[in-house]
Amino acid sequence: MKTRDLLEEIKENIKDYDIKVLEEKVKKVDINPISKQVSAYNIENYKEIISLNIDEESEENIEISDKKIYSIKKEIAKFFDGCSPESEEIFKKFIESICLYLSLIARKPLHPVGMDFSNGKTVFKEEKNNKINYYCDIKEELKMRSNEYYTCKYCICKEVK
């Protein structure tokens, strides 16, 4: 599948999601800081997706493996089955779409830069020679712990060793 086609599929999948739900969530003062940060990141990416267009002839319109797209969708489904089976289908589709966008089109981390997972472990970026690299302190640890699902394998962040 071409990047442009995937973007159009993602747009179709998120168009009915009520983004106001997340916008209201981030305004609450009693919300968990991590949840607030992730929600704000999802809003930011939602807006990027809606406004983004990739021309047919653009060099960004590259071929993406259907197998990889399917694998990401399957992993996100396993994540929801294991962590949050009570989530509404429209929310699951929204998160799946955001993850596909971040992993395959935007090439950005699945979690926001600066998010504190625990004990100071975070997602951070370094710029070197006009190239941005993203890192995650907890990626390797989660890989060792996770036996049912591991969405981090689709995140562009590099492990910190």
Three-state secondary structure string covering the chain? CEHHHHHHHHHHHHCCCCCHHHHHHHHCCCCCHHHHHHHHHHHHHHHHHHHCCCCCCCCCCCECCHHHHHHHHHHHHHHHHHHCCCCCHHHHHHHHHHHHHHHHHHCCCCCCCCCEEECCEEEEEEEECCEEEEEECCHHHHHHHCCCCCHHHHCCCEECC
Both tokens of 153, joined, read: 């394998």
Q: How many whole angstroms separate alpha carbon 106 and alpha carbon 113? A: 14
Q: In this predicted model, what pLDDT tens digit does every residue of 28-73 receive, in sequence order?
A: 888 888 889 999 999 999 999 999 999 999 999 999 999 999 999 9
> Binning pLDDT at 50, 70 and 90, where does residue 85 land?
confident
The reported pLDDT for the residue numbered 147 is: 65
Q: In this predicted model, what pLDDT tens digit does every residue of 131-152 receive, in sequence order?
A: 999 999 888 877 777 666 678 8
The reported pLDDT for the residue numbered 116 is: 84
Strongest mean pLDDT among 27-36, 107-116, 152-161: 107-116
